[in-house]
Amino acid sequence: MDRSIGASLTAPRIRIVEIDAFERDISLRLPFRFGAATLKKAPQAFLRVRVEDERGKTAVGAAAEMMVPKWFDKNPALTPAQNVDQLRGSIRVAAAASLEASAPETLFAAARLNDMETVRRLPVNPLAAGFGPSLIARAALDAYCRLAGISFFDAVRGNLVGIGGPMLPGDIGADAASAALAGLRAGRSISARHTIGLVDPITDGDIVDPVGDGLPQSLEAVIARYGNRWFKIKLSGAVDADIDRLARIAAVLDRLPDYRVTVDGNEQFGAAEQFAALLARTDSIPELARLRAAIAFVEQPFSREITMDTPLGDLAARLPFLIDESDDGDDAFARARALGYTGVSSKTCKGIYRSLMKEIRIKAGSVPGLFLSGEDLTCQAGLAVQQDLALASLLGLSHVERNGHHYVAGMQGATPVEKALFAAAHPDLYEHGADGPLLSIRDGRIDIGSLDAVGYASGALPDFEAMRPLS
């Protein structure tokens, strides 16, 4: 196969010449329950990637992501440790495949080739296999931007990433791609959509084990501190329990003059009829009227094993539905649309170019009502949250799920030097906490103007020397 791309004469070609992988442990201040899993700790992966351009100049870039068990692969036969090892394996295989490439490629072509090769080599599902390639793609883009002295926003809008050519899916034209990218505009702030986990206390009276670290635990304390007006409610799939919990949540949210919510089924509903029963119960309870009217969309109610065989039917006329875990390939959104879905998630752990291609399809297409939504995977303060926020903002999203700051206090595990560097580089994004910088949310919004910096949304790099090599 011809590995060249020929997308744009202005798109530079780079070669990845060095990859170092590290990790550090993260313990949650609060347990985070989503679907059938409760997360209390997980390692965070960090990549340091050196790229070389065609003139022989080099630069280093970085990326980071939590290795969250029981999301990428929810097979109950696998332990959380085995889930994390899947993600470590993806990083190793993707790194080996990247370093084997001999010819310089555009950033887009290199990422696409690496993703396909890693999926081919690894006997795991595409979401888990794509974890390593997604990190390498971000770090390589960061390195190129530093080499060129430009921001992530400029690199994407000018299509210096090289989206086009034979690596582009057949339903996207290169000219349409460049035109769509040129029209992207990042905002200076974005609304934070607060995640309400399945075991999160709703009121202060629900708190059984006070953390006592000065940060909010309950939903009502979150609202008092951060001023959120957007929320994401996790559902369990047990209709009676979900209805009871929704009523308790509504009692708090209804104190606000206005609010919007999304609801996340996390693959917990066994059939369309089961979710329809939940909606019917919701519609019949007066105390849930405001919350029901505030629902913007429903996220991934059915398991990925049955989603693509389960038409939404009448549900699609009642609410917009979005796929997340079922979004595991280029054609996933098109297949889901045929079933009644109109939305698809953007997550940096799935790959930044996949998010950009979704936006290109939506902008260039003729189907009204399609939408992207920014969803979190416990993005941590520092590189992970900054790169995800930058992508969400450039995609034109007005709100994005943010949960890492609630379940983990600040830049846990980072050295004082690293914390100081990130706080100084991004004073709008962070506020001073007892143990270093904390994500700053005021009136429900996050200021992100400082992300328009040389590199991929970060004026600082992690302290790699203080981390341990990837296990």
Write the CATH number of the domain with boundaries 14-168.
3.30.390.10
* Domain edges within the chain: 14-168, 189-457
Determine the angle formed by the axes of helices 352-364 and 107-121, rounding to 10 degrees. Answer: 110
Neighbours of 374 (CB within 10 A): 23
Show Cβ contacts of residue 470 under 8 Å, excluding neighbours closer than 6 positions: 21, 22, 23, 45, 88, 91, 92
pLDDT tens by residue, 114-140 = 999 999 999 999 999 999 999 999 999
Measured distance CA(111)–CA(103) in Å, rounded = 13
- How would residue 182 be classed by pLDDT, with cut points 50, 70 and 90? very high
Q: Comparing C-alpha atoms, which of 48, 27, 138, 129 is closest to residue 404?
A: 27
Checking if the pLDDT of 2 tops 60, the result is no
Least confident of 2-16, 108-122, 262-276: 2-16
Checking if the pLDDT of 6 tops 50, the result is no
Q: Comparing C-alpha atoms, which of 346, 321, 318, 323 is closest to residue 333?
A: 323
pLDDT tens by residue, 318-351 = 999 999 999 999 999 999 999 999 999 999 999 9
Checking if the pLDDT of 366 tops 90, the result is no
**What CA dihedral angle connects 119, 121, 124 and 129, to 10 degrees?**
-40
Give the pLDDT score at 7.
42
Arithmetic mean of pLDDT, 92-103: 94
Arithmetic mean of pLDDT, 293-314: 97
- How would residue 4 be classed by pLDDT, with cut points 50, 70 and 90? very low
Arithmetic mean of pLDDT, 63-92: 96
pLDDT tens by residue, 232-253 = 999 999 999 999 999 999 999 9
- How would residue 24 be classed by pLDDT, with cut points 50, 70 and 90? very high
Measured distance CA(39)–CA(71) in Å, rounded = 10
Checking if the pLDDT of 9 tops 80, the result is no
Q: Comparing C-alpha atoms, which of 75, 65, 74 is closest to residue 26?
A: 65
CATH superfamily name and code, 189-457: Enolase-like C-terminal domain (3.20.20.120)
Checking if the pLDDT of 229 tops 60, the result is yes
Let me know: does 431 contact 438? Beta carbons within 8 Å. Answer: yes
Length of the chain: 471
pLDDT mean across residues, the chain: 95
Checking if the pLDDT of 3 tops 50, the result is no
Q: What is the DSSP string of 419-441?
A: HHHHHHH-TTTEEEETTEEEE--
Checking if the pLDDT of 181 tops 80, the result is yes
Give the pLDDT score at 318.
97
Give the pLDDT score at 170.
86
Checking if the pLDDT of 21 tops 50, the result is yes
Give the pLDDT score at 1.
26
Checking if the pLDDT of 471 tops 90, the result is no
Let me know: does 26 contact 60? Beta carbons within 8 Å. Answer: no
- Tokens 């979004």 sit at which residue? 327
Measured distance CA(336)–CA(207) in Å, rounded = 40
Checking if the pLDDT of 259 tops 90, the result is yes
Arithmetic mean of pLDDT, 292-312: 98
pLDDT > 90: percent of the chain:
93
Give the pLDDT score at 95.
98
pLDDT tens by residue, 412-430 = 999 999 999 999 999 999 9
Checking if the pLDDT of 73 tops 60, the result is yes
- How would residue 309 be classed by pLDDT, with cut points 50, 70 and 90? very high
- As to burial, measured by CB atoms within 10 angstroms (0-12 exposed, 13-18 middle, 19+ buried), residue 72 is buried
